[in-house]
Structure 1
Amino acid sequence: MMNNTLHIISNDLLSEYLKKVPKGLNHAFEALKDAEISTDSFSFYTSVSSVYSSKIEGEAIELDSYIKHKKFGIEFSPDYTRKIDDLYDAYSFAKVNELNNETIAQAHSLLSKNILTKNRQGKYRLQNMYVSTPDGRIEYVAASPFELEAEMEKFYTDLTLLLKTEMSIEEAFFYASMIHLVFVKIHPWNDGNGRSARLYEKWFLAEKLGYKAWFIQSEKMYYNQHQTYYSNIRLLGFEYPTLDYNKALPFLLMLPCSVLNG
């Protein structure tokens, strides 16, 4: 499918993925439904997404506390909740807007409101970017700022094509995971790349499969298996120019498992 037209989002593994993706994905997806605790002004699963995507990035927030804050108005220290509130706003924005280059930048501006200065929100970084381990070792060198704009142009060209292409539910999950992986490997923002990539993955699924995609607890699974999550991302290589997306299958198979095991 589209071997000659995609520029950066590889589909070389699609055939192998379709053989290995667990059975029952469509049935499990169709069975998804909103939580009873959700209301017109409060979404339980948006809270789950926001809390666990933030916890992956080291935020000390608990779901129970955040629900008390968001649904019942119980006050906590602003430092405890503000970044999660910003990410909640980005998810809420995504639910009512189409996925494209402009809305991707707007969503980043929302989720990075208390992470970056205003002039860096929704703007590409201008310097080299290194991903470090907690003990300070460099584990990944992202795309250089000199190639960043060209790489993102390829990304948006592929995204536009994929959004217009009819595909099965399994193919939609494959490309959603690839969007997540390619974006986080380009690493275009100064900060908030992981939060963004996990949002865009789900946003793409919602565009292709409908509103039930927002009920998937992928961020929670990624957090609960965060060592595996990061290990699978690292499998591709140390530097952006030499990444091997043929090693991406373990990562790609995580997303459907978050539905089947959720």
Structure 2
Amino acid sequence: MNLQVIRTEILGEYLNTIPEDLPKVFEALEDAEISTDTFSFYTSVASVYSSKIEGEDIELDSYIKHKKFGIEFLPDYTKKIDDLYSAYTFAKTNVLNKDNISEVHKLLSKHIVAKHQQGKLRIHNMYVSTPDGKIEYVAASPYEVASEMEKFYSDIALLLKQELSIQEVFFFASMIHLVFVKIHPWNDGNGRCGRLLEKWFLGQKLGEKAWFVPSERNYYEQHQTYYKNIRVLGLEYAELDYSKALPFLLMLPNCLKA
């Protein structure tokens, strides 16, 4: 495959390390009994925990009461999670491509960025900082974001056409997540979007069971390790070392361990 930004140099090492029972464990995934035609438990789980990674103060039990049973909370408590829930719902029934990725960002960022920034690539420098204000990552230059994202979209289109084993699907889903957050194309909402893209690719290649994978919850429960594994690639976009990506890539299949 002639991929441009999605990397493959450690695919062999990944395939030798990934849990051998991945296909069996994946096939055993089932939807929760609480889900209905109008309510998805696992979409709620994904939306809540992906939001909690970003610092949102929301509890799964409260959100389920709100989403399934219509119990009212203050709007500020649920609105960003509702937006992300809508984005996941959209992804489940739409093709993973450039236009729909933009649409997903519009949905999930309704209460995060200004309307004119929703679904639009950033035009400013982007730095990821630690809580104490230290720069821990310098994202792709605004002058290269558009070209890097075009390569990203092209790579996804190519991967969607390829016959891949389930192990390879998991590898490329995680790599899509990682490359996306390293480009950091939006003004905000990059983490939420990257985690959704990972799940979306799984869903496109593996079907409905992919949406039951508890990846977002696992990332939240190990969020220090999650960020550490993202940071280890390097400080600046142009100098990223994807040979160090294995610990991050293994977090997705490992979330299916009992």
TM-score using structure 1 length: 0.98
Counterpart CA distance in 1 for 2:5 and 2:90 is 26
Q: Following superposition of structure 1 onto structure 2, how do residues 10-159 of structure 1 map, counting pairs within 5 Å?
A: 10-159=7-156
Counterpart CA distance in 1 for 2:55 and 2:133 is 15
Q: Following superposition of structure 1 onto structure 2, how do residues 198-209 of structure 1 map, counting pairs within 5 Å?
A: 198-209=195-206
Count residues with an aligned counterpart: 258
Partner residue of 2:193?
196
SS at match of 1:207: helix
Q: Share of identical aligned residues, percent? A: 71
Amino acid at match of 1:62: E
Amino acid at match of 2:90: F
Amino acid at match of 1:244: D
Counterpart CA distance in 2 for 1:117 and 1:153 is 24
Decide whether the 8 Å contact of 1:24 with 1:260 is kept in 2. no
Counterpart CA distance in 2 for 1:118 and 1:227 is 31
Measured after TM superposition, the shift of residue 135 of structure 1 is 1.5
Counterpart CA distance in 1 for 2:80 and 2:169 is 29
Of the candidates 224, 228, 231, which is equivalent to residue 228 of structure 2? 231
Counterpart CA distance in 1 for 2:257 and 2:110 is 34
Amino acid at match of 2:123: L
| Per-residue deviation, residues 113-151 of structure 1 (Å, max 9, x unmatched) | 011111100000010000011111110000010011110
Structure 1 gap ranges (5+):
none
Counterpart CA distance in 2 for 1:73 and 1:210 is 29
Partner residue of 2:180?
183
Counterpart CA distance in 2 for 1:137 and 1:38 is 43
Decide whether the 8 Å contact of 1:90 with 1:108 is kept in 2. yes
Partner residue of 1:7?
4
Partner residue of 2:244?
247
Measured after TM superposition, the shift of residue 234 of structure 1 is 0.4
Counterpart CA distance in 1 for 2:205 and 2:105 is 21
Decide whether the 8 Å contact of 1:142 with 1:240 is kept in 2. yes
Structure 2 gap ranges (5+):
none
Counterpart CA distance in 1 for 2:257 and 2:92 is 23
Query: What is the RMSD computed on CA atoms of the aligned residues?
Result: 0.5
Measured after TM superposition, the shift of residue 260 of structure 1 is 2.5
Counterpart CA distance in 1 for 2:228 and 2:124 is 25
Measured after TM superposition, the shift of residue 23 of structure 1 is 1.3
After TM superposition, the runs of 4+ consecutive aligned structure 1 residues lying more than 6 A away are none
